[in-house]
Structure 1
Amino acid sequence: MDGVERQESSSVPGAGPARRRFLGLCAGVGLGAAAACEQVAPAHRSAAPDARLPEAERDRPGTADWRIGSLGAPDAIAGYADRVSVAPGEEFGLSVSTTAAAFRVSALRVGWYGGKQARRVWFSPRIPGRAQRSPAILSGTRTVRADWPRTLTVDTTGWPEGAYLLRLEAESGHQRYVPLILRSTHGAGRTVLLHAPATWQAYNRWGGLSLYAGSDGSYAGRSLAVTFDRPYDQNGAEKFLVYEWAAVVLAERLGIPLAYTTGTDVHADPGVLAGATAVVCLGHDEYWTPEQRRHVTAARDAGTNIAFLGANTCFRRVRIEASDSGPGRTVVCYKSSYTADPCFPARPALVTTDFRAAPGADPESSLTGVLYEGYPVDAPYVVTAPDHWLYEGTGVRAGAGFDHLVGVEYDRVIPGTAAPGPLEITARSPPGVRRPAQPQRLGVLHRGRRRRGLRDRHHALGGGPDGGHRRRQPAPRHGRGHPRLRHPHHGEPAARLRRGPGGPPPPGATPQRRAGVRHRPGVTPARAPCGGGVRVSSGPVRSTMAACC
């Protein structure tokens, strides 16, 4: 198709049941399986919506050819945007390096689109290619910067809000993605999908270094700050595709009113959270600034429901700082080297280490209801409260277990630690950690002071002070499934359970990295990272759902 389609669709008034179905699907079943349902009915639609809003897209034809056909060598083609997100109508720059004579760019919006799962809303003309210079490394923080000149400027006028994959297409046939969020400016009455670019960047090893490892692979040689002024490694959008893509496809398929933003945007301006029905942290969302945490907590306390679809959420405290290219381009996290952080010791609340650690200890459980505890883990998800609304329509019974659904990391409820409110346990898991660790709990809903299975992995829901719910799951392998898979045993489209991750890997995953298997570069055992899980806040009951991964 040429240019941007302007086909009219319809809005989604009061999609409460669909939103609840979405949270239920995300809760105890593994998000990939949830997205797999082939008969999910969208919310009722009526008048034609604003073309910039996500619901304007739902009846438009998709683009089957959106995946990468061939990566080629790392230098075949790569690039990055000078903005993590833009509002519809704003411009952004792309810096591209390629060994090909020329390339093109396709802007692919992620959604259901009748099962095609993306739509091309724009493509560029042929652009001459050139190989850019090698990256520079800033000695003080070992930060890798590409610092390439801008190759082209892209105008997003006419693009609807949503999650985009910009596919760089070299004439040699090789391709790579650049992720971009077309953020919403208003989220009142909507479910806000919160993307995690700070975490994407923390694990990015383009140029040889990340916040986990140096060029020699050692933890000691790791970067202390990383920048968005460089491409992402592998296919260019691996963390988005593994942890967030399936949730976006599912949410769009269900037809609920959506808004899109990122953690770095909420850090700078929480306006999109005002009046939101729910906020969904989509997957592995480990790196938060104190400002982002404060803004999300305030939204919860004002009555917005919060769902966390991954364990280890809000585990690392970071700062977002400017670079030579502009504001908000650098993610700073000194971790165990926090005494070298310029904020130490004068400003302990801004020292970049684990939230629960000194000098400014503020455990993440006060937001999430649970604490990250273990990696790696491979355990079943065992239902303990089958009558809870999370499991409506599934037919599950108490004691029903789903093998391999909990992993590769997990959280659990720990008595005596800060919590947002009473929790309820809806599922739990027996021990299954592949290193010395305590038993864990899966589905935990805390109500009052009753807490059971204190050392099992937990799936938890808890309440905020003003009615906002939060939901946290025992880290089922969310986001790793494929929206077209079906569970062989349960016919209810609203919430099918799948036994383990199963199915093909998400698009872009390398064949050897089976879904649900190791998701991060090598880490020293003493500093094991944290990962996926689920927490959801919903309705006037204001509960929190927690998950382990």
Structure 2
Amino acid sequence: LIAPQPAQAQLGLGSLIVTITFPADGSPVSGTVPVNASVSIIGSLTVSQVQFYRDGNLIGSDSAAPYSVSWNTTSTNNGSHTLTAVATDVLGVRWNSNPVTVTVSNGPPPDTTPPMVPTGLTASAVSSSQINLSWTASSDNVGVSGYRVYRNGTQIATTSATSFANTGLSPSTTYSYTVAAYDAAGNLSTQSSSASATTPAPPDTTPPAVTINQAAGQADPTSSSPINFTAVFSEPVSGFSGAGVTISGTAGGTKTVTVSGGPSTYTVAVSGMSTDGTVIASIAVGVAQDAAGNLNTASTSTDNSVTFDATPPSVTINQAAGQADPTSSSPINFTAVFSEPVSGFSSAGVTLSGTAGGTKTAAVSGGPSTYNVAVSGMTTAGTVLASIAAGVASDAAGNGNTASTSTDNSVSFTPSDTTPPTVTINQAAGQADPTSSSPINFTAVFSKPISGFTSAGITLSGTAGGIKTATVSGGPTIYTVAVSGMTSSGTVLASIPAGVASDAAGNLNTASTSTDNSVTFTPVSPIVLENQQPGSGNWRMWLHNIPPADDVNKQIKGYASATSVNKGESITFYVTVNPAQQYTMDVYRMGWYQGLGGRLMQSIGPLQGVAQPACPVDATTGLTECNWTASYTLAVPPNWTSGVFVVMLTNAQGYQNYITFVVRDDARVADIMFQQAVNTYQAYSNYPDDNATGKSLYDFNSYGANTVTGTPRAAKVSWNRPYADYGAGQFFQWEFYFIRWLESSGYDVKYSTDLDTHENGVRLLNSKAFLSVGHNEYWSKPMYDGVQQARDAGIHLGFFGADAVFWQVRFEPSPLTGAADRVMVCYKNSPDGHSPDPVQGPTTTVLWRDPPVNRPEQQLVGVQFSGSIDVKTPNSPYVVQNSSSWVYAGTGLADGDSIPKIVGYEMDSSMSNFPLPASVAGTYQVLSQSPFVDSYSRTTMTANSSIYQAPSGAWVFGAGTTSWAWGLSDDGDGYMDPRIQRITANVLNRFGVSPPP
């Protein structure tokens, strides 16, 4: 088989080199070993297979590298053998390896013969926990090494002996065993035949336990003898007798025991009790034994005590607590009290007697110790007595009660009163009628004493407005009924419906009758009461010959956190002083006050002031806003009356300035809502008026660089800065004079500002009339909408000024504080005539009459701004037209008559080139034709006042001049005219608003 090198190699086609890699030449081998070969290819030949030979005999072949076969050497004789590998290429040529010589060395053949099956297996139980096994020895071709022991089919042990002791078994249990022999080679015989044995039971060493309790069905408590207990042993016993029972407890007597039953359950009967108390039975240890001789343990119990009770319950019966005596009511109640809980007590156990006629019956309720006995059926006057016989109820032990005892078991009965009480109600003696005082008093007189009469039993009616409430005092026959809560004039009537009070017999009253139960209420306005307080003129500046503080030196200036505050809330003030020094704040309410014009409400300070920082100016919009530190917060007392307030600021050097704000009364309904024109104050304010940096919405008093408007004026102004100059805005120019006259006349008025109308126009619906006075030029869309909606809801409008609703504005939050509506926006028009306002549409800040807004103020006011007279030029006269109008009633004026000094500083006209307001036919009238020379055009123009009635029924008056208020009240400079006062009163009267008589 070892071939020479093939011709291919000689021809240069390539060759294969075959090498046996395992086992190594000269190594010993045994068992089954691998024979491995490798083939190295030279040239382009490939291998088809490799065959392996032992001593020239084929062992096996492999056709894929790595090449290997498995050789079982046990089939070969021990000794030296030669291994060769032959590779065949794809051309069929065979290539031989060098031979490898190995030595085979295998041991003798293994033992595979199992031992013989063991025989003669026996099992014997020698105790309750051990079984002994034995068997005949087994044989094997080589030798037996040992035995495996199986119990119930599971191996439990191995042993080399032919016996085995199985311990730790359970008593009274049958066990089955087998054994199997095994040799040293691990050959195991078949298991032997089985043998079984049963362990005996263990000896009894457990003592019997015993319980003793009162017998089932034993009454507890009981008055019977004997008392039975049940003793139960855990197993049958012997030797148990009465001597083994221990009796204790509080029951007196020589108690004896009888035992019956057995051998596990016994009845223990105890007798001989002579006095009440408990009877307790127990069993001592060692008084009985079981079959194994074990003595019992001491007894245990869950209920081995029985109460012996031979005492009968006693009972008392008396009239019930709170039972009227005498009484006309039925039933009459008695209380029966037993000495212990009883059962079986019913109306049959009650004996009724006494002199009261009728078929009396008793109803029993309650228990088990205390019962209510209700007796009814009485028809004639007399006594009713109740008693309880012996033996009609029993306690838990079965003892029947003794007969009742009593201290008061008699009640006198009189037939009931069935006549209902009558009542009259009339105004109280001395009650003023009419009256402005509250409460209004009525007197209610019942025909007999009654109870249960309260304010809920009063019916209030009449025409007086308000939420009327009644308070009742007095009684039990005559009561005072005090009625309060009236807010407007009218009658107040009080009546009492039927069934709101009852007499002693329970009869409900009839409805009231009256001869005079109506009182006329004429309220006094809070304004009247307020102006009766002492006034003060110290709110005026210049009293100390020191000029007011100015905006250049800023000796003292300030502003408020809001333009208005509701009573009971707080407002914060921001004050600067220069140089730093102390200052005071005096808070005045402005009104009539005996002609003094104000009332000192509160003095604050001295406070330590600081020089606050300069107020920056926004270069784009011209907005001037101060970032000052708060100086003082005023908590407005809830009893302050709504009004316009000024704070007089005075520094230590005597310099003074104002802060103004309004106190609102949001909860009160008043005849008039007066709107302070703070928007116009802010529009004209150029703080600081220093000829350098101050800016307003006007060019005439704005300084510094041009803004987005194209001129120095601002497009935005802020309330977070003082008003310029005196600090009160335009309040003392016109509105003050109107307020002074209004409050001197006693009109019922409350106050708000432009911003309040902007934020909540619905507030206008709580008054009969809305007043805009003096110079109310700047309005937001919500203001215009709110006032127009109020008019259309029937609220009257009085524009006692001119130039109202001229410019539209918007409001924005403060960029410094974030507070809402602290910045007013009004871009107006640039010099080229176009609006630089970035918002174009219904809220563009241009004239109301101009595009794109197109809502001429004449449609609301009745007239609209037409021209002005310079403030340094005297006013023109007011010239009457349509003097037959009710507006002029009582003035004596005729067409063409004039009233001097009334027309100025700005005027309105009725303009035919703009639409008139919607009105009831024939009600729109021009009331004046007042010529004046316009300061700008230097032409003669005509100012008009007007009146019209809206389709809602609301009247709207437009005075057409900002100076109208000067005709109502002045400072002795000749403007006040009684005809202007009468015209104003006529208009307010037509508004449904009148001063007190």
Same fold (TM over 0.5): yes
The whole-number CA distance in structure 2 between the counterparts of 1:491 and 1:541 is: 21
Aligned partner (choices 189, 204, 216) of residue 685 of structure 2: 204
Pair 1:465–1:538, CA change in 2 (3 A): farther
- Alignment correspondent of 2:777: 286
Pair 1:189–1:82, CA change in 2 (3 A): closer
The whole-number CA distance in structure 1 between the counterparts of 2:866 and 2:986 is: 16
- Alignment correspondent of 2:538: 65
Q: 372-381 or 102-111: which moved more?
A: 372-381
- For residue 595 of structure 2, what is the amino acid of its counterpart? G
- Alignment correspondent of 2:838: 342
The whole-number CA distance in structure 1 between the counterparts of 2:990 and 2:592 is: 26
- For residue 538 of structure 2, what is the amino acid of its counterpart? D
Pair 1:333–1:492, CA change in 2 (3 A): closer
- For residue 642 of structure 2, what is the amino acid of its counterpart? E
User: Which structure 2 residues correspond to residues 74-473 of structure 1 after superposition, within 5 A?
Assistant: 74=551, 75-99=554-578, 100-157=580-637, 158-186=639-667, 188-207=669-688, 208-213=694-699, 214-216=702-704, 220-323=711-814, 324-325=816-817, 326-337=819-830, 339-344=835-840, 348-376=841-869, 378-420=875-917, 421=919, 422-436=923-937, 440=941, 456-473=942-959
Pair 1:480–1:217, CA change in 2 (3 A): farther
Greater relative contact order structure (CA < 8 Å, 6+ sep): 1
Q: 96-105 or 412-421: which moved more?
A: 412-421
5+ long unaligned stretches in structure 1: 1-7, 16-43, 441-455, 498-533, 543-549
Query: What CA deviation, in whole Å up to 9, does each residue of 1:375-399 have, x standing for no partner?
Result: 3375321112334333333333332
- Alignment correspondent of 2:9: none
Residue 563 of structure 2 contacts residue 662 of structure 2 at CA under 8 Å; is this kept in 1?
Answer: yes
Query: What CA deviation, in whole Å up to 9, does each residue of 1:137-191 have, x standing for no partner?
Result: 1122111112111111111024221100011111111111101000231564511
The whole-number CA distance in structure 1 between the counterparts of 2:950 and 2:989 is: 10
Aligned partner (choices 477, 480, 503) of residue 963 of structure 2: 477
The whole-number CA distance in structure 1 between the counterparts of 2:973 and 2:884 is: 23
The whole-number CA distance in structure 2 between the counterparts of 1:223 and 1:231 is: 16
Query: What CA deviation, in whole Å up to 9, does each residue of 1:183-238 have, x standing for no partner?
Result: 23156451111111111000001121000033149881100000000001111114
Pair 1:462–1:205, CA change in 2 (3 A): same
Q: Which has the larger radius of gyration?
A: 2
The whole-number CA distance in structure 2 between the counterparts of 1:192 and 1:489 is: 23
- For residue 147 of structure 1, what is the amino acid of its counterpart? N
The whole-number CA distance in structure 2 between the counterparts of 1:537 and 1:62 is: 26
Pair 1:538–1:392, CA change in 2 (3 A): closer
Pair 1:491–1:262, CA change in 2 (3 A): closer
- For residue 665 of structure 2, what is the amino acid of its counterpart? S
| RMSD after superposition | 3.2
Pair 1:541–1:238, CA change in 2 (3 A): closer
- Number of corresponding residues: 450
| Partner SS state of residue 801, structure 2 | coil
| Partner SS state of residue 206, structure 1 | coil
- For residue 903 of structure 2, what is the amino acid of its counterpart? V
- For residue 220 of structure 1, what is the amino acid of its counterpart? T
User: Which structure 2 residues correspond to residues 467-546 of structure 1 after superposition, within 5 A?
Assistant: 467-475=953-961, 477-480=963-966, 482-483=969-970, 485=972, 495=982, 539=990
Residue 467 of structure 1 contacts residue 539 of structure 1 at CA under 8 Å; is this kept in 2?
Answer: no
The whole-number CA distance in structure 2 between the counterparts of 1:187 and 1:333 is: 34
The whole-number CA distance in structure 2 between the counterparts of 1:360 and 1:79 is: 36
The whole-number CA distance in structure 2 between the counterparts of 1:488 and 1:166 is: 28
- For residue 67 of structure 1, what is the amino acid of its counterpart? R
Q: 480-489 or 190-199: which moved more?
A: 480-489
Report deviation, 1:486: 8.5
Residue 738 of structure 2 contacts residue 966 of structure 2 at CA under 8 Å; is this kept in 1?
Answer: no
The whole-number CA distance in structure 1 between the counterparts of 2:705 and 2:972 is: 37
The whole-number CA distance in structure 1 between the counterparts of 2:743 and 2:992 is: 25
Report deviation, 1:271: 3.1
Report deviation, 1:261: 0.8
- Alignment correspondent of 1:38: none
Q: 287-296 or 364-373: which moved more?
A: 364-373
The whole-number CA distance in structure 1 between the counterparts of 2:685 and 2:977 is: 38
Q: 173-182 or 351-360: which moved more?
A: 351-360
Residue 111 of structure 1 contacts residue 118 of structure 1 at CA under 8 Å; is this kept in 2?
Answer: yes
- For residue 924 of structure 2, what is the amino acid of its counterpart? L
Residue 947 of structure 2 contacts residue 956 of structure 2 at CA under 8 Å; is this kept in 1?
Answer: yes
Residue 376 of structure 1 contacts residue 433 of structure 1 at CA under 8 Å; is this kept in 2?
Answer: yes
The whole-number CA distance in structure 2 between the counterparts of 1:212 and 1:535 is: 37
Residue 181 of structure 1 contacts residue 261 of structure 1 at CA under 8 Å; is this kept in 2?
Answer: yes
- For residue 57 of structure 1, what is the amino acid of its counterpart? E
The whole-number CA distance in structure 2 between the counterparts of 1:125 and 1:365 is: 48
Pair 1:493–1:134, CA change in 2 (3 A): closer
Pair 1:540–1:171, CA change in 2 (3 A): closer
Pair 1:98–1:241, CA change in 2 (3 A): same
Pair 1:535–1:210, CA change in 2 (3 A): farther
Pair 1:321–1:540, CA change in 2 (3 A): same
- For residue 302 of structure 1, what is the amino acid of its counterpart? A
The whole-number CA distance in structure 1 between the counterparts of 2:975 and 2:854 is: 46
Pair 1:477–1:9, CA change in 2 (3 A): farther
- Alignment correspondent of 1:19: none
Identity %: 26
Query: What CA deviation, in whole Å up to 9, does each residue of 1:8-34 have, x standing for no partner?
Result: 99999559xxxxxxxxxxxxxxxxxxx
The whole-number CA distance in structure 1 between the counterparts of 2:727 and 2:684 is: 12
Query: What CA deviation, in whole Å up to 9, does each residue of 1:342-369 have, x standing for no partner?
Result: 212xxx0011111111222211111111
- For residue 331 of structure 1, what is the amino acid of its counterpart? M
- Alignment correspondent of 1:546: none
Report deviation, 1:64: 2.4
Residue 735 of structure 2 contacts residue 774 of structure 2 at CA under 8 Å; is this kept in 1?
Answer: yes
- Alignment correspondent of 1:446: none
- Alignment correspondent of 1:28: none
Pair 1:315–1:194, CA change in 2 (3 A): same
Pair 1:249–1:491, CA change in 2 (3 A): closer
5+ long unaligned stretches in structure 2: 1-435, 439-485, 491-519, 689-693
Pair 1:364–1:173, CA change in 2 (3 A): same
Residue 900 of structure 2 contacts residue 975 of structure 2 at CA under 8 Å; is this kept in 1?
Answer: no
The whole-number CA distance in structure 1 between the counterparts of 2:809 and 2:668 is: 25
Query: What CA deviation, in whole Å up to 9, does each residue of 1:402-431 have, x standing for no partner?
Result: 344212222111225222224112221235
Pair 1:428–1:492, CA change in 2 (3 A): closer
Residue 549 of structure 2 contacts residue 657 of structure 2 at CA under 8 Å; is this kept in 1?
Answer: no
| Partner SS state of residue 372, structure 1 | strand
From the two aligned structures, give the one with the greater helix fraction. Answer: 1
Query: What CA deviation, in whole Å up to 9, does each residue of 1:267-320 have, x standing for no partner?
Result: 101232114211110110000001001000111111111011221100000001
From the two aligned structures, give the one with the greater strand fraction. Answer: 2
Residue 678 of structure 2 contacts residue 729 of structure 2 at CA under 8 Å; is this kept in 1?
Answer: no
The whole-number CA distance in structure 1 between the counterparts of 2:973 and 2:711 is: 44
The whole-number CA distance in structure 2 between the counterparts of 1:66 and 1:292 is: 31
Pair 1:540–1:472, CA change in 2 (3 A): closer
